[in-house]
Amino acid sequence: MRCPYCATEDNRVIDSRLGRDGEEIRRRRECLECERRFTTRERVEYVLPKIIKRDERREEFTREKLTASLQKACAKRPVSVDAIGRIADRVERRLQDTGESELTSRHVGDRVMEELLALDAMAAVRFASVYQRFDSPEDYDAFFAQLEEIRRRTPSSDE
């Protein structure tokens, strides 16, 4: 590991801790050259499927793109950054668990919609308006009717 201050590769690990739901290791390091300390994080690198876009292009799955979409959908909503990170973790894990080498963007969008519906209905509407390309008030009406149907079929925790 190269020191971010002096660029030498001579350093030692001072402390290692498990972090983020056991998915990463946080290492505190000290540079043997300049004696400054810095932190590194290690996580398993999963082989994620390529995403088939609507126009048939293939793209690598990028967590950053997923997180950015979630942040836009949840903007000005009572949703924490940690909650967004957990959704991204679960979606990423589910994509990995399929074992497929390619998945459609629709498949990814459906997983995100499931997560957002459970978290915040308004964030789900925002996400759906882009993901499902709403272009008229009728599209929103249909979405809300579908949402209402899901709520009727799902038993409430209050009952």
pLDDT tens digits for 92-111?
999 988 889 999 999 999 99
Q: What is the pLDDT of residue 37?
A: 97
Q: What is the DSSP string of the chain?
A: ---TTT----EEEEEEEEETTTTEEEEEEEETTT--EEEEEEE----PPEEE-TTS-EEE--HHHHHHHHHHHTTTSS--HHHHHHHHHHHHHHHHHH--SEEEHHHHHHHHHHHHHHH-HHHHHHHHHHHTT--SHHHHHHHHHHHHHHHHHSPPTT-
Same domain assignment for residues 25 and 54? no
Same domain assignment for residues 109 and 136? yes
Q: What is the pLDDT of residue 158?
A: 46
pTM, rounded to two decimals? 0.64
The CA distance from 116 to 25, in Å, is 28
Same domain assignment for residues 57 and 37? no
Q: What is the pLDDT of residue 154?
A: 67
| Cβ(113)–Cβ(73) below 8 Å | no
Same domain assignment for residues 136 and 118? yes
Q: What is the pLDDT of residue 155?
A: 63
Q: Is residue 60 part of a domain?
A: yes
Containing structural domain, residue 23: 11-43
Q: Is residue 62 part of a domain?
A: yes
**Residue pLDDT tens, the chain, 159 long:** 899 999 999 999 999 998 767 778 999 999 999 999 999 988 877 678 999 999 999 999 999 999 999 999 999 999 999 999 999 999 999 998 888 999 999 999 999 998 998 899 899 999 989 888 888 899 888 888 888 887 777 665 444
The CA distance from 111 to 106, in Å, is 9
Q: What is the pLDDT of residue 121?
A: 87
Q: Show the tokens assigned to 23.
A: 């998915």
Same domain assignment for residues 56 and 28? no
